[in-house]
Amino acid sequence: MNIYRFELKGYLGTLWIWILSLIALLFMYMAFYPILSDGAMMMDKILENYPEELLKAFGMGESISFATVLGYFTFTFVFVQLCLAVQSAYYGFNFLSIEERELTADFLYSKPVTRRSVFVQKYLAAATALLLSDLAVWIGSFLAIEIFRGGNSYDFGNLLILLVSIPVFQLFFFSIGLLVTTLTKKISSVISYAMALSFGLYILNAVRSIVGGELLGMITPYYYFEPGQILTSGKLNLRLTMICVFVILISNGLGYRLYLKRNIHSL
């Protein structure tokens, strides 16, 4: 029984909807750039009257300008991050709960396969689905920018660094979802948990932007990978990235150990 292929086939059933939605979101927002870029100076003047805290909550800062391609893309990418977070968290919360919710554990564990093998193959299937989403965002971002930049130049290297950060960002939400699903008895509504985690951490980062300080930011990956900071500086914050990787490793390790010992409910 090839669990990897079976699981991946299950992801592919809805993955194309995620991919098309992400690409459509990129093109929809970037399509307005040629219009806004003509009056970008006026737009920047208008934004100067907005509270700085409000702009930061939407990924904009003093050094970000709608007149530049990457400045406008910063605003666009915030919504892409939200979608990626929901998708990743959904996969994480659904990692184990689907067997318990649909009562298929008896069938799965009656096969000549160890729990370790089940975990690894299910994990690889989810990681493959997330990677396909990454590729869609990478390709969609480059195409949307090239089509709608209107001859304006941008720093390709800075954009590449932001896009490369996506897999780590996704794995954070996936790993937290995976850990939670091994700690809870049963998750009846996966999408509710995924939305709560994704939007909750986003709101937390917005609050951090308003009140200031770094303590709240340590809890949310939106702070680790702020599009405005990455596209402006052209580099990742190494300390915050390592914290994110540490959380991912710990969550995966604990989730794996708990999965092996878990009494999975079935028929």
pLDDT surpasses 80 at 215: no
Q: pLDDT tier at 178 (50, 70, 90 boundaries)?
A: very high
Cβ neighbourhood burial of 199 (10 Å; 0-12, 13-18, 19+): middle
Question: Among the listed ranges 94-108, 128-142, 163-177, which one has the minimum average pLDDT value?
Answer: 94-108
Predicted confidence (pLDDT) per residue in 13-49, tens digit: 889 999 999 999 999 989 888 877 666 666 666 566 5
| Residue of 54 and 161 predicted with greater confidence | 161
- Is pLDDT above 80 for 202? yes
Q: What is the pLDDT of residues 112-164, one digit of tens each?
A: 677 788 889 999 999 999 999 999 999 999 999 999 988 888 889 999 999 99
Confidence of residue 67 (pLDDT cuts 50, 70, 90): confident
Q: Which stretches of 103-189 are DSSP H helices?
A: 105-109, 115-148, 156-164, 166-183
CA distances from 83 to 19, 25, 95, 116, 150 (A): 10, 10, 18, 30, 27
Q: Residue 214 — very low, low, confident or very high, per pLDDT cuts 50/70/90?
A: confident
The residue-averaged pLDDT of 182-192 equals 82
Domain ranges across the chain = 3-261
- Look at 97-101, 208-212, 255-259 and tell me which has the smallest mean pLDDT: 97-101
Range list of H helices, the chain: 3-30, 33-38, 40-48, 52-57, 69-102, 105-109, 115-148, 156-164, 166-183, 190-211, 221-224, 227-233, 238-261
In sequence order, what are the residues at sequence separation of 6 or more whose Cβ sits closer than 8 angstroms to the Cβ of residue 220? 201, 202, 204, 205, 208
Other CB atoms within 10 Å distance of the CB of residue 262: 16
Q: Would you state the pLDDT for residue 98?
A: 65
Determine the pLDDT at residue 267: 47
Handedness of CA 47, 48, 51, 55 (dihedral sign): positive
Checking if the pLDDT of 82 tops 60, the result is yes
| Structure tokens that stand for 4 in this block | 């990897």
